[in-house]
Structure 1
Amino acid sequence: MYLLENISKNIYSLDKNSIQQAKDRLDTLIKPKGSLGKIEDICMQLAGIYGTAKFDTSKKAIIAFAGDHGVYEEGVAPDPQDITQLQFPNFTKGLCGVGALSKFVGADVIAVDVGVNCDHKLDGVRDYKIRKGTSNMAKGAAMTREEAIKCLEIGIEMAEECIEKGYKVIGIGEMGICNTTPSSAIISVIDGCDPAIVTGIGAGLKKERLKHKADTIRNAIELNKPNPDDGIDILSKVGGFEIGSMAGVILGCSANKTPVVLDGFISYAAALLAYKINPKSREYMIASHLSAEAGTQKALEMLDLSPVLNMDMRLGEGSGAALAFNIIEASNYAYQNMATFDEVEWV
């Protein structure tokens, strides 16, 4: 708990002077003011995060976490639960979506098991297993408050380890069959909306099963009564180990003045938990893409974030975050290398 409290106390708003310096340069580049749109927004945000008008975004990593969920036994997902343990090692081998895209953009992938339902160590995966999956939130709390704090602190530790190794931009990813269920629950609790509004098909649930999924979430919320103003309580009652760990990365990056690139729907839930723990953490988030999953708009509205890309993606894993890395690097390159009006000889 000390690590979580210490990190949360050390998250500050972005450096306004650096933001203004970046804006001043952007406004003098040979283009109409504001004409590069989100490219300019990204550069100003990065300047504010790093506290300098010149910055390096070349060393990038995705930190991905995997965990299984007790609520799987309620029939809220169409796929076998062991896909989590079968797929997760592919993250670091470059064989799945986030693996291939990360390799393409020159980013490293760090895979961390925080709750996969297996006894053996997964190949190429860091073992921080809390236990073999959460409890069934339809029958009680998904985890204890102590476990919720533990997964948050694992995320903080992983973020700080990467930052110490020189990573300048960090994305988050995940793996966990049926984890759209706790994510929808988290978003429903924080927004105060009916779960049906923010519950989608996930990895391919048949539409006729959507009502059952939303009903399961509604019943879990009614049973556990998570406090919508307490991020740790929400996580412990209806969350997941991998979701909490992603929230921890966000908090760790924020306290260490490092941008954190969100992926899709599951990461939005994690971002909302981080926001509840410390609202200033939102200033360090970059939303990579507009997930096709239901509930996306609700989550992004609450976070007041505008995604960089709209690709109709709903894979998860960190694939959208990896894809956005190139946009971030392109933004920085243009910002650093375009000429200003004063530097160009006009004929």
Structure 2
Amino acid sequence: MIEINIPKPSSKLISAINHKIDFKTKPIGALGQLESVARQICLIQQTLAPELKKPSIVVFAGDHGLAKEGVSAFPQEVTHQMVLNFLSGEAAINIFSEQHGIDLKIVDAGVNFDFENHPHLINAKIGMGTENSLTQTAISENQLTQAIQKGCEIVNNIHAKGSNVIGFGEMGIGNSSAASLIMSHICKLPIKDCVGRGTGVDDAGWYKKIEILEKVQQKHSSISSISELLLAVGGFEIAMMTGAMLQAAANQMIVLVDGFISTSAYLCAHSINSNIEHYTLFCHQSDESGHKKMLEFLQVKSIVQMNLRLGEGTGCALAYPLIQSSVDFINKMASFDDAGVSNKD
């Protein structure tokens, strides 16, 4: 796997940042998590006057061979149908992105469908879906290298156009199974603690899903690296997102992570280079049962918790106005001296 250098932000400005936040016309800490978000963005940008420029969300789509085993309540065809819905501008992520002025791009990382050219579609197809991880490795070494490189390339192109904040979403029937397998390996949890309902799985389907994923783990019991993990059970969209997240941090962009599947890609990225954590904001805590455990493992707090479990980057789009508010308050809110308000003795 390629190496991506991510610089750790200097902490030299931390005292000045804290002073600016604490001397706004409010009690210390009164803006809660907005203050910690503002502090983090100031450190990322190494400034007391941060800016959010050309916000972007990228939705990576891919199909999974494991879906043939019935781990999802929906057929594989839904992946390409939802991509077409994104391109028509009528999905939830389209609505929320447009509402908040976020540029949206859809990436065909490996959907089992041939799309026509579209201005909002990035063709980065690695294959027509992964192989079935129950019977063989999902991804070849060459495909993994391509996926990581494509993810880096996509982010570099967005960054070159002036964006300094980027969110990551996904679409892929069967990808909650891949995410559960990744979570189980990295977080050292039994698969039953990592498997949720995904896209509407009932009780019988949930038990079947656990049984199948346990068999997948037995098939790939000798995994010893993140590369081997992605090869064995990953998805093209998860692998591509892993590379994209690493590159965004390397470019010193603000990295916005969506829900369960996006966080599984982040787990891989963080295992490769932990400095990514300095650039990352976790937008929401998904209602998918394993996501709370992922965030606890990472010792991070989400910006919002609204019982979402849609994916698509919707959590990023919905959290973005709060991120904008954190930047606006540190830039525009009066200090005690500016407003002539007496501070606490």
TM-score bracket for the superposition, by shorter chain length = over 0.9
Matched position secondary structure for 1:312: coil
2:32 paired with 1:37: yes
**Post-superposition offset of 1:233:** 1.5
CA contact (8 A) 1:189 1:221 kept: no
Matched position secondary structure for 2:196: coil
Matched position secondary structure for 2:289: coil
Distance in 2 of aligned mates of 1:159 and 1:315 = 23
Q: Deviations over 1:108-143 (max 9, x none)?
A: 111110100013436442111100000001111111
Residue in structure 1 matching 2:131, options 131, 135, 151: 135
Residue in structure 1 matching 2:241, options 246, 254, 262: 246
Alignment of 1:144-293 (within 5 A): 144-225=140-221, 227=223, 230-293=225-288
CA contact (8 A) 1:85 1:117 kept: yes
CA contact (8 A) 1:201 1:293 kept: yes
Q: Deviations over 1:192-216 (max 9, x none)?
A: 2111111011110112211111121
Distance in 2 of aligned mates of 1:206 and 1:105 = 35
Q: Which amino acid aligns with 1:247?
A: T
Distance in 1 of aligned mates of 2:115 and 2:17 = 49
Q: Give the aligned CA root-mean-square deviation in angstroms.
A: 1.5
Distance in 2 of aligned mates of 1:199 and 1:30 = 46
Distance in 2 of aligned mates of 1:346 and 1:19 = 25
Residue in structure 2 matching 1:54, options 49, 56, 73: 49
CA contact (8 A) 1:94 1:102 kept: no
TM-score (norm 1): 0.95
Give the count of matched residue pairs. 341
CA contact (8 A) 1:232 1:277 kept: no
**Post-superposition offset of 1:276:** 0.9
Q: Deviations over 1:152-177 (max 9, x none)?
A: 22111111111110012100011101
Deviates more, 1:218-227 or 1:259-268: 218-227
Matched position secondary structure for 2:86: helix
Q: Which amino acid aligns with 1:143?
A: I
CA contact (8 A) 2:25 2:341 kept: no
**Post-superposition offset of 1:103:** 0.4
Distance in 1 of aligned mates of 2:339 and 2:244 = 43
Q: Which amino acid aligns with 2:266?
A: A
CA contact (8 A) 2:49 2:330 kept: no
Q: Which amino acid aligns with 1:129?
A: K
Matched position secondary structure for 2:211: helix
Structure 1: which 5+ residue stretches go unaligned?
none
Distance in 1 of aligned mates of 2:309 and 2:94 = 16
**Post-superposition offset of 1:84:** 0.9
**Post-superposition offset of 1:145:** 2.3
Residue in structure 2 matching 1:69, options 55, 60, 64: 64
Distance in 1 of aligned mates of 2:307 and 2:195 = 17
Residue in structure 2 matching 1:25, options 2, 11, 20: 20
Residue in structure 2 matching 1:304, options 279, 299, 311: 299
TM-score (norm 2): 0.95
Distance in 1 of aligned mates of 2:116 and 2:222 = 33
Aligned-pair identity in percent equals 34
CA contact (8 A) 2:148 2:243 kept: yes
CA contact (8 A) 1:149 1:232 kept: no
**Residue in 1 that maps onto 2:340:** 345
Q: Which amino acid aligns with 2:89?
A: G
2:315 paired with 1:320: yes
Report the CA distance shift for 1:226/1:131 in structure 2 as closer, same or farther (over 3 A): farther
Matched position secondary structure for 1:339: coil
CA contact (8 A) 2:226 2:272 kept: yes
CA contact (8 A) 1:92 1:109 kept: no
**Post-superposition offset of 1:267:** 0.7
Deviates more, 1:52-61 or 1:109-118: 52-61
**Post-superposition offset of 1:22:** 1.8
Report the CA distance shift for 1:331/1:93 in structure 2 as closer, same or farther (over 3 A): farther
Distance in 2 of aligned mates of 1:116 and 1:224 = 24
CA contact (8 A) 1:289 1:308 kept: yes
